């Protein structure tokens, strides 16, 4: 029994370097960015455009959430003796949120240009930056909480 991910997708157009005898494309090739979701008139597929817009809005929500968590961290983390650490965690989370929201439009444009030109979708650089900020601030918050409990 095969699932729907193993079946070829007829809506996607294969890039010239990835031509098959039938002109069909598999789901995993789309996910790896080897397929342009575009019509013959160099206009991105409507579903691809809407997916790019939904991703843009998700990045904006992530930025807003990071700002809110930064404000909450600054208010809720213990401050006994090391108030600068609490402020550093809060400020870096807020800064990460502002940068995420600001760079979301840049990411949307890069993906849109790639789809229109038939190039592969660019890598998720913004995701790596946000993940790094979250991990570092999370580790700093753990250290801060452990130090507060030790006193």
Query: What are the tens digits of pLDDT across the range 85-122?
Result: 889 999 999 999 999 999 999 999 999 999 888 889 89
For residues 24 and 134, which has the higher predicted lDDT (pLDDT)? 134
Residue 56 CB contacts under 8 Å (≥ 6 apart), including other chains? 104, 105, 107, 108
pLDDT per position as a tens digit, 10-40: 444 444 454 444 444 455 555 555 555 554 5
Phi-psi region of 33 (alpha: psi -120 to 50; beta: other; left: phi over 0): left
Contact 126, 103 (CB under 8 A): yes
């Amino acid at each position: 029994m095969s699932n729907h991910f193993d079946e070829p997708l007829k809506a996607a157009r294969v890039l010239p370097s990835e031509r098959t005898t039938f002109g069909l494309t598999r789901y995993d090739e789309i996910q790896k960015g080897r397929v342009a979701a575009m019509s013959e008139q160099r206009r991105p597929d409507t579903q691809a455009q809407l997916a790019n817009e939904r991703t843009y809005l998700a990045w904006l929500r992530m930025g807003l959430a990071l700002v809110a968590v930064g404000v909450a961290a600054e208010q809720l983390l213990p401050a006994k003796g090391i108030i600068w650490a609490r402020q550093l965690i809060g400020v870096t989370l807020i800064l990460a949120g502002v940068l995420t929201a600001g760079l979301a439009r840049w990411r949307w444009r890069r993906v849109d240009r790639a789809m229109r030109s038939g190039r592969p979708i660019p890598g998720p650089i913004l995701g790596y930056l946000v993940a790094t900020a979250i991990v570092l601030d999370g580790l700093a918050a753990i250290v801060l909480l452990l130090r507060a409990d030790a006193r």
